[in-house]
C-alpha cells in the first residue's frame, strides 16, 4: 500500500482497533488536513480493504477526499491509486482519465484497461493484469467530476474549465495526503473525451504552478478535530512532465475528415466503391464546413446542422452495418453495450460487499457513466468543443505530448489523428513533424505500429487495437507508454 502521511498512519492504527466487523460502512479512518494557503481544507477517508476486491499483489489504496465545494455543500471524490511495482519511491505518477464526458476512470480505465487487476471475462471477480501500467509507475484513478462512479457532490461543474479547477484542487489535496507522491514526475493520460480532460487539466496545472512558486511548508494534520486556521504556507508542487492522449477527440473539425478515409481506403475497406463515390461530396462538404462549430460555438444551429450531416458516415457503419464503432472489425448490435466487460464492471462495483471493502456507503449506487454530466456538458456547449488551444499551450511550453491511437477505431480514427498531428495543432514544430515519415516501433522483434516525433510531440499508432488500446493490446500499450516516458519508442 502507499504509505500515507506519518500522522495519518498513526490514525490508521488507532481507528483500525475500533473496527470490529470487516464489513462495515462506518468510516474506518477520517483525517482532517488544513493549514496550507493553496490547499482547501479536506478530510481523507481510506477504504478498509482493497485486497478483497482487487486480485493483485498491488491492490492499492483508495478512499474519499471530502471538501467544501464553496457553495455550502461538500464534494466527496473517490480515488484508487496503485503504487509502482518497480520502484514505488521514485517512479513517476500517472493520472488516468477515462472519457465520456462522465465515464468512470475507477471503473473502466482501471478494471477494464490498465489497472493491476481486471474484471474477469465472465464477470464477478477480478484477475491479475501483468501489463497494468503500475509496472513502472504509480497510477491514480479518480472518479470525476462529481456524479461519476462513487463521487458525489451537490453541484456538477459547469463545464471543462470548472471541472479542471476542481481536479486541480483535488490533486493538491491528494498530494498533501500522500506527500511522497508530490514532486514526482507527473503525467496525465486519458482516452476518447480524455482528449479534452487531459490537456485542459494539464494546462490548468501549468498556469497555476507558474503563478505559485513560493515557499512550501509543513502541514497540520488532525484526526476528527476542528480545522486549524490557514496560514501562508504552500502545499505540494505538481511536477507536470507530460500528457498522453489515446484515441482522443481534440479537434473534431479536423479529425472528422478521417472518417471518409477510414471507411474508403485499404484493401478491406468498409464501404464499396459505389458507396465511396456517393459519400465523397458529403466528406468534402464536412471538410469545408465543420469548422463553423469552432467559430459559432457548439450550440449554434449552424454547428448542430453540420454535426448531424458529418456524423452520418459513422451512423451507416453503426446502424446499417452493425459494426462496433470502437473497433470496426467487430460486430455490435447495440453501441452502448459492445463490451460485456463494462456491464460486468457496473455489476461488480455496485455489489454491497465490494462497496463495503472500498468504504463506499451501501446505498450509493455505482454510476459507470453519468448522463447528468453528459447533459451538463451539452447544455454549456462543451460537448465535443475543440481542445487544441490547451494542447498548443502545452507544446509551446515544452511539456511532452504523446498522441497515440489504436488503428481499428472508427470514432477516433487513425486517419483523423494523423490530420490532427500534421495540421490541426498550432505550435513551432508543426511544419516539421508534418514532414516526418512514420516508421515502425517494435515489441521485441515484432512491429507493433508506426510512429514519428519532433521535440515534445510524439505520435504513435498501435496496430490491431481499437478505441480501448490497453484493453486490446495490453503489452504493446504498456511498452509504448513506458518507452515514451523514458525517451523514445523501441526500435528493432
* Contact between 188 and 137 (Cβ < 8 Å): no
* Contact between 91 and 84 (Cβ < 8 Å): yes
Of the pair 40, 407, the CB lying nearest ligand NAG is at 40
* Interaction of residue 268 with ligand NAG, rule CB under 6 A: no
Of the pair 132, 199, the CB lying nearest ligand NAG is at 132
Binding-site member from 3, 136, 239, 311 for ligand NAG (CB under 6 A):
136
Of the pair 269, 289, the CB lying nearest ligand NAG is at 269
Number of residues that bind ligand NAG (CB under 6 A): 19
* Contact between 95 and 188 (Cβ < 8 Å): yes
The C-alpha angle 342, 55, 484, rounded to 5 degrees, equals: 75
Of the pair 82, 427, the CB lying nearest ligand NAG is at 82
| Mask for 52-81, x = binds ligand NAG (CB under 6 A) | ---x----------x------xx-------
* Interaction of residue 135 with ligand NAG, rule CB under 6 A: yes
| Mask for 80-99, x = binds ligand NAG (CB under 6 A) | ------x-------------
Q: How far apart are CA 97 and CA 247, in angstroms?
A: 12
* Interaction of residue 121 with ligand NAG, rule CB under 6 A: no
Which secondary structure element, helix H or strand E, spans residue 252, and what is its range? Answer: helix 252-255
The least distance separating ligand NAG from the CB of residue 417, rounded to whole angstroms, comes to 26
Q: How far apart are CA 197 and CA 419, in angstroms?
A: 21
Binding-site member from 9, 16, 19, 127 for ligand NAG (CB under 6 A):
127
The least distance separating ligand NAG from the CB of residue 371, rounded to whole angstroms, comes to 12
Query: In the range 343-372, which residues lie near ligand NAG by CB under 6 A?
Result: 346-347, 350, 365
The least distance separating ligand NAG from the CB of residue 27, rounded to whole angstroms, comes to 8
Of the pair 83, 307, the CB lying nearest ligand NAG is at 83
Of the pair 86, 333, the CB lying nearest ligand NAG is at 86
Largest Cα separation within the chain, whole Å, is 73
Query: In the range 319-348, which residues lie near ligand NAG by CB under 6 A?
Result: 346-347
Of the pair 55, 430, the CB lying nearest ligand NAG is at 55
* Contact between 197 and 99 (Cβ < 8 Å): yes
The least distance separating ligand NAG from the CB of residue 450, rounded to whole angstroms, comes to 23
The least distance separating ligand NAG from the CB of residue 224, rounded to whole angstroms, comes to 9
Query: In the range 387-406, which residues lie near ligand NAG by CB under 6 A?
Result: none
Q: How many CA atoms lie within 13 A of 237 on its CB side?
A: 15
Q: How far apart are CA 399 and CA 244, in angstroms?
A: 11
| Count, residues in the chain | 492
- With CB under 6 A as the contact rule, which of the stretches 6-14, 104-112, 127-135, 326-334 interacts with ligand NAG? 127-135
Q: How far apart are CA 402 and CA 480, in angstroms?
A: 10
- The 8-class DSSP code of residue 69 comes to -
The least distance separating ligand NAG from the CB of residue 186, rounded to whole angstroms, comes to 16
- Crossing angle between the packed helical segments 273-289 and 301-310, to the nearest 10 degrees: 160
- With CB under 6 A as the contact rule, which of the stretches 124-132, 169-177, 287-295, 326-334 interacts with ligand NAG? 124-132
Binding-site member from 128, 278, 305, 319 for ligand NAG (CB under 6 A):
128
Which residue blocks in 297-363 are alpha helix, DSSP H? 301-310, 312-315, 340-349, 352-357
* Interaction of residue 125 with ligand NAG, rule CB under 6 A: yes
Question: What torsion, rounded to 10 degrees, do the Cα atoms 223, 228, 230, 234 define?
Answer: -40
Pairing of strands 61-68, 42-46: antiparallel
| Mask for 273-292, x = binds ligand NAG (CB under 6 A) | -xx-----------------
Which residue blocks in 267-408 are alpha helix, DSSP H? 273-289, 292-296, 301-310, 312-315, 340-349, 352-357, 371-380, 388-396
- The 8-class DSSP code of residue 228 comes to P
The least distance separating ligand NAG from the CB of residue 195, rounded to whole angstroms, comes to 27
* Interaction of residue 130 with ligand NAG, rule CB under 6 A: no
The x, y and z cell numbers of residue 9, run together, are: 498512519
Binding-site member from 122, 229, 334, 486 for ligand NAG (CB under 6 A):
486
The x, y and z cell numbers of residue 161, run together, are: 474549465
Of the pair 180, 223, the CB lying nearest ligand NAG is at 223
The least distance separating ligand NAG from the CB of residue 93, rounded to whole angstroms, comes to 14
Among 84, 113, 100, which residue's Cα sits nearest to residue 187?
84
Buried b (16+ CB within 10 A) or exposed e, 74-111: ebbbbbbbbbbbeebeebbbbbbbbbbbbbbbbbbbbb
Of the pair 68, 288, the CB lying nearest ligand NAG is at 68
* Beta bridge partner(s), residue 452: 459
List residues binding ligand NAG (CB under 6 A).
43, 55, 66, 73-74, 86, 125, 127-128, 135-136, 272, 274-275, 346-347, 350, 365, 486
Amino acid at each position: 500500500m502507499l504509505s500515507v502521511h506519518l500522522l495519518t498512519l498513526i490514525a490508521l492504527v488507532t481507528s483500525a482497533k475500533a473496527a470490529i466487523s470487516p464489513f462495515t460502512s462506518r468510516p474506518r479512518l477520517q483525517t482532517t488536513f488544513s493549514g496550507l494557503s493553496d490547499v482547501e481544507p479536506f478530510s481523507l477517508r481510506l477504504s478498509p480493504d482493497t485486497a478483497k476486491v482487487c486480485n493483485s499483489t498491488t491492490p492499492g489504496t483508495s478512499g474519499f477526499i471530502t471538501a467544501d465545494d464553496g457553495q455550502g455543500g461538500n464534494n466527496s471524490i473517490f480515488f484508487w491509486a496503485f503504487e509502482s511495482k518497480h520502484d514505488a519511491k521514485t517512479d513517476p505518477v500517472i493520472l488516468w482519465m477515462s472519457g465520456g464526458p462522465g465515464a468512470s476512470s475507477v471503473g473502466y480505465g482501471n478494471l477494464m484497461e490498465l489497472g493491476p487487476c481486471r474484471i474477469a471475462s465472465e464477470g464477478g471477480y477480478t484477475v491479475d493484469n501483468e501489463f497494468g501500467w503500475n509496472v513502472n509507475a504509480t497510477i491514480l484513478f479518480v472518479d470525476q467530476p462529481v456524479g461519476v462512479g462513487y463521487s458525489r457532490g451537490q453541484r456538477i461543474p459547469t463545464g471543462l474549465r470548472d471541472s479542471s479547477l476542481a481536479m486541480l484542487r483535488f490533486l493538491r489535496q491528494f498530494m498533501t495526503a500522500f506527500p511522497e507522491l508530490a514532486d514526482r514526475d507527473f503525467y496525465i493520460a486519458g482516452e476518447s473525451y480524455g482528449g479534452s480532460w487531459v490537456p485542459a487539466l494539464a494546462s490548468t496545472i501549468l498556469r497555476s504552478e507558474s503563478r505559485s512558486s513560493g515557499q512550501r511548508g509543513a502541514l497540520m494534520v488532525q484526526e476528527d478535530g476542528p480545522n486549524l486556521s490557514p496560514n501562508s504556507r504552500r502545499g505540494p508542487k505538481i511536477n507536470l512532465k507530460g500528457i498522453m492522449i489515446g484515441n482522443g477527440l481534440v479537434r473534431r473539425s479536423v479529425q472528422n475528415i478521417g472518417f471518409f478515409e477510414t471507411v474508403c481506403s485499404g484493401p478491406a475497406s468498409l464501404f464499396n466503391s459505389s458507396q465511396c463515390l456517393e459519400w465523397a461530396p458529403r466528406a468534402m462538404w464536412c471538410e469545408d464546413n465543420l469548422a463553423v462549430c469552432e467559430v459559432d460555438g457548439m450550440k449554434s444551429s449552424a454547428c448542430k446542422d453540420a454535426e448531424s450531416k458529418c456524423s452520418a458516415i459513422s451512423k451507416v457503419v453503426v446502424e446499417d452495418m452493425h459494426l462496433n464503432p470502437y473497433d470496426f472489425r467487430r460486430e455490435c448490435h447495440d453501441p452502448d453495450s459492445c463490451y460485456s466487460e463494462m456491464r460486468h464492471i457496473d455489476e461488480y462495483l455496485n455489489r454491497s460487499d465490494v462497496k463495503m471493502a472500498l468504504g463506499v456507503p451501501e446505498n450509493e449506487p455505482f454510476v459507470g457513466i453519468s448522463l447528468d454530466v453528459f447533459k451538463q456538458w451539452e447544455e454549456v456547449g462543451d460537448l465535443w468543443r475543440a481542445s487544441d488551444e490547451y494542447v498548443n499551450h502545452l507544446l509551446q511550453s515544452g511539456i511532452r505530448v504523446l498522441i497515440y491511437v489504436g488503428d481499428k477505431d472508427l470514432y477516433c480514427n487513425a486517419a483523423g489523428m494523423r490530420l490532427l498531428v500534421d495540421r490541426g495543432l498550432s505550435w513551432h514544430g508543426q511544419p516539421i513533424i508534418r514532414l516526418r515519415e512514420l516508421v515502425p516501433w517494435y515489441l521485441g522483434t515484432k512491429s507493433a505500429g508506426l510512429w514519428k516525433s519532433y521535440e515534445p510531440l510524439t505520435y504513435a499508432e498501435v496496430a490491431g487495437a481499437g478505441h480501448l488500446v490497453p484493453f486490446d493490446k495490453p503489452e504493446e500499450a504498456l511498452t509504448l507508454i513506458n518507452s515514451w516516458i523514458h525517451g523514445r519508442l523501441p526500435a528493432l
